[in-house]
Amino acid sequence: MGTRDRLVRWTIPAVVASVLVVVAGVALLTGTRDRADEPTGAAHDTRTVTYRDVSLDVPRAWGWGREAGPDWCADVPGGERRFQDEPFVQLPPGVVVLAIACPEEEVVPAAFGSAPPRLWTPHVELADTDVEGGPRVPDGASTHRGWTLTARTVGDVQVRVLDDGSVTDLVQPILSSARVVERSPEGCEVASPAVAPDRPRPGPADITAVGAVSSITICQYRRGTYARPGLLAVRRLDGAPAQTLLEAIKQAPVGGGPDDPANCAEDDFGDRVLALHLESPDAGRSQVYVGYASCRGNGFDDGVAVRELTRDACLPLWGEGVELTGGSYEVFRRCHDDMPGG
């Protein structure tokens, strides 16, 4: 099954300018709570995934993944073995797509994507319904060579499940569990003030006064209109990992950055933002906004001060659907574990 709204992007190693242009509709979010005791119709032993204004239940064993795309024939490390062969969950693209033309091994219906069937794997995909370009997938079932693609539109999201017959009993429970929500199970609002393009600040709550946290929930958003659900992904850190992140942020120098404003327009703060929800037994709840997706306005902002994106504070933010897909080279160097010299 193909994500219809891919954009051609450059690979990270090819970047030579200070701003890395990797613009994508990314990612999604996850919870890990059991849902067997709730009447959602979902398969037994599930986790909850939320994207934009929709939550649904997927098998816990299905991890995060990415289907083969239009650059499936690219000569890259891992070759075709880089594609998953176990069922997975996919969010809208947040990965690099190489600008190459792969041969068409056979004619495949547009709804099923651009890769040959030999590279397909059963999975569930959450797709935007309001993005221009690309083939539209009708609700209901479509078939090709023993594969079935079943789609259901809920809220601003279309849920699509690709099945080769091995996961047929899970298709309808997954689709029927999809529901419109105002916040994720972890507490991320689907529409947050953090998304405003003028770089709003959270209510002031000095993070240095927070001695301990029980959890930090990382909510990733697409910037834009506050009224539109912009939630892309969620992950939650509990216990020691949350406390380690808090201490790293507190130790980061005041002043923000790294920035390179000469390469950005004055009102360009990037198309992504994070909102961190801190739960503290002594200080209650507070928020920190994280700018990272442009060459200005980067840093951890608690409403009192803006602190720098240090490597120790930045690396723990990513994972489980929360992806780093754009920003300046210096941000990538510090915040991406595959970049040298961090």
Average pLDDT in the 127-132 region? 78
pLDDT at residue 19, as a whole number:
38
Do the beta carbons of residue 242 and residue 216 sit within 8 Å? yes
Of 29-33, 125-129, 160-164, 297-301, the one with minimum mean pLDDT is 29-33
Number of residues assigned to the chain: 342
Q: Which pair of tokens denotes residue 31?
A: 């919870």
Residue 59: pLDDT above 50?
Answer: yes
To the question of pTM greater than 0.85 for the whole model, the response is no
Residue reference for tokens 């690396």: 315
Residue 325, pLDDT score: 84
Least confident span in 25-34, 75-84, 103-112, 180-189: 25-34
Distance CA 283, CA 209 (A): 8
Give the model's pLDDT for residue 7.
35
The residue-averaged pLDDT of 118-146 equals: 87
**pLDDT at site 264:** 84
CA 275 to chain centre: 13
* Mean pLDDT, range 10-23, rounded to an integer: 36
214: which residues sit within 8 A by CB, 6+ positions away? 238, 239, 242, 279, 280, 281
Q: What is d(CA 164, CA 272) in angstroms, rounded to the nearest whole number?
A: 35
SS3 per-residue string spanning the chain: CCCCCCCCCCCHHHCCCCEECCCCCCCCEECCCCCCCCCCCCCCCEEEEEECCEEEEEECCCEECCCCCCCCCCCCCCHHHHCCCCCEEECCCCCCCCCCCCCCCCCCCHHHCCCCHHHCCCEEEEEECCCCCCCCCCCEEEEECCEEEEEEEECCEEEEEEECCCCHHHHHHHHHHCEECCECCCCCECCCHHHCCCCCCCCCCCHHHCCCCCEEEEEEEECCCCCCCCEEEEEEEECHHHHHHHHHHHHCCECCCCCCHHHCCCCCCCCEEEEEEEEECCCEEEEEEEECCCCCCCEEECCCCEECCCHHHHHHHCECCECCCCEEHHHHHHHCCCCCCC
The residue whose two tokens read 């000095």 is: 206
Q: Which pair of tokens denotes residue 40?
A: 């959602």
Position 336 confidence tier, pLDDT thresholds 50, 70, 90: confident
Q: Is 239 left (phi over 0), alpha (psi -120 to 50) or beta?
A: left
> In whole angstroms, what separates CA 134 from the centre of its chain?
20
Residue 52 near residue 157, CB atoms below 8 Å: yes
Q: Is 2 exposed, middle or buried (0-12, 13-18, 19+ CB in 10 A)?
A: buried
Read off the pLDDT band of 263 (50, 70, 90): confident
Most confident by average pLDDT, 33-47, 175-189, 190-204, 226-240: 175-189
**CA dihedral defined by 66, 136, 156, 273, rounded to 10 degrees?**
50
pLDDT single digits (tens) 191-234:
999 999 888 999 999 999 999 999 999 999 999 877 789 999 99
Tens-digit pLDDT profile for residues 273-307: 999 999 999 989 999 999 999 999 999 999 999 99
Rama region for 292: left / alpha / beta (φ>0; ψ in -120 to 50; rest): alpha
